[in-house]
Amino acid sequence: MKDLSQHPCFNKEAHHKFARVHLPVAPQCNIKCNYCNRKYDCVNESRPGVTSNVLTPEQALHYTKNLVKIMPELRVVGIAGPGDPFANPVQTMETLRLIRKEFPEMLLCVSTNGLNLAPYVAELKELDVTHVTVTMNSLKPEVLEKIYAWVRYDKRGYFGAEAATVLLDKQLEAIDLLQEAGVTTKVNSIVIPGINDKEIPLLAEYMGKKGVKLMNTIPLFPVEGTPYENLTEPSSEFMKELRAEVEEFLPPMSHCSRCRADAAGLLGKDSAEAAQLLSEAAKMTIAPGEDRPYVAVASHEGILVNQHLGEADRVHVFKETPNGYKLVNVRVTPPHGGGDQRWVDFAEVISDCRAILVGGAGKKPMEILAKNGVQTIQMTGMIDQGLDSIYKGIELRAVCKTEMTKCGSGCSGKATGCG
């Protein structure tokens, strides 16, 4: 039985006793915050979005194995960037699977903006991810549009009030799903003078009613090169008064150390030895797991990702080699009909694949494949682009067909749905 009280971020009494590590496996982000400037290789800055290295899931597992040898007080493995975990769902979920398999007693957590969190709550629960932090800065779109330059959701870019509305709607949906799943949830809020500082108590009241357990109010740290670089950081006295207001609705976190995306050790006392292990892990060439070295692709001709999952009667299976990506074979999908069982059978067909690239897919097939360890990536474009995103963590820039994901009774193409 895991002792949830050992999480140092969620329990002030634990932060001098138990350590955490953030695994920097999620380099891309799906929103642009006006207070954020994500830098790499910046060892002298301690704030979110900063890391010295980005790891693959396999490197992250190797790093964690070495870290527990020198850090017996380590209790929590988290993913918090340097981008957003669910802007990089393949890397994030595979890392969590690997860590859970190797360390069944470890507490797992993620910290996210919540935009793309909802589709993964069910699997997070299955992996026994006990703690999730969602950064929310207001309940009002007219305030949020001053904080975010853009939002990218479902392969579409949003700006202004529309971006703010999309982000808020998806955050609230995710919060509800987390509460239904019984996942301990914390809300982080960046306190920005003149922008959202008056909104925080309202947000605290609303989140308290939702069932959120803790709120972390973080004073703006003006970062050079951002739209907010010339704003003034809220004073400690102001923050103290604000936390007193928050406390009427939610316990406030008062011991945050604004952790880096590669933080390791006790809060506020990151380990230099851990930093060395991180650097060594990032330089290692570690092959993907022997059991899932391949990627499946829904494609008419084996060059482009251009088929809806429900319409594909076969998939192309690729692997990464020192000389590029190679076709392993072409596999027949289970026949149409049969409902959910078709996708259970299909998961078995591609059980050695870590992901499948498709032009579109229904929610239910994606859920079934995810439960069987296969991540579904929806895109159109060159197959190599999709493979680069999975094997190398390169941002996916392929353009998607806007109607491809309308699945079910009104499915595009042959209107046969995903059965």
Alpha helical stretches, state H, 299-362: 340-349
Sign of CA dihedral 144, 267, 237, 224: negative
The boundaries of every CATH 3.30.420.130 domain in the chain are: 294-391
Average pLDDT estimate for 355-364: 91
Residues 222/251, Cβ–Cβ less than 8 Å: no
Give per-residue pLDDT as tens, 228-245.
888 889 999 999 999 999
Burial class (CB in 10 A: 0-12, 13-18, 19+), 394: middle
Whole-number pLDDT of residue 405: 40
- Mean pLDDT, rounded, of the chain: 85
**Could you tell me the strand order of the sheet in which 74-79 lies?**
214-219, 184-191, 129-135, 107-112, 74-79, 19-22, 264-266, 269-270
Cβ atoms of 373 and 313 within 8 Å: the answer is: no
pTM comes to 0.70
Kindly indicate whether the domain formed by 294-391 is annotated with CATH number 3.30.420.130: yes
E-state strands within 247-313: 264-266, 269-270, 294-297, 304-305
pLDDT in tens, 76-85: 999 988 889 9
Angle at the Cα of 410 from the Cα atoms of 404 and 412, rounded to 5 degrees: 30
- 103-112, 173-182, 252-261: segment of lowest average pLDDT: 252-261
pLDDT band at 404; cut points 50, 70, 90: very low
Nearest to 131 by CA among 103, 169, 96: 96
Task: Give one DSSP letter per residue of 113-157, joined into a string.
Answer: -STTTGGGHHHHHHTTEEEEEEE---S-HHHHTTTEEEEEETTEE
Type of residue numbered 401: K
Tell whether domain 4-283 is in CATH 3.40.50.2300. Answer: no
Mean pLDDT of 321-346: 91
Residues of the chain with CATH 3.20.20.70: 4-283
Averaged pLDDT, 15-23: 81
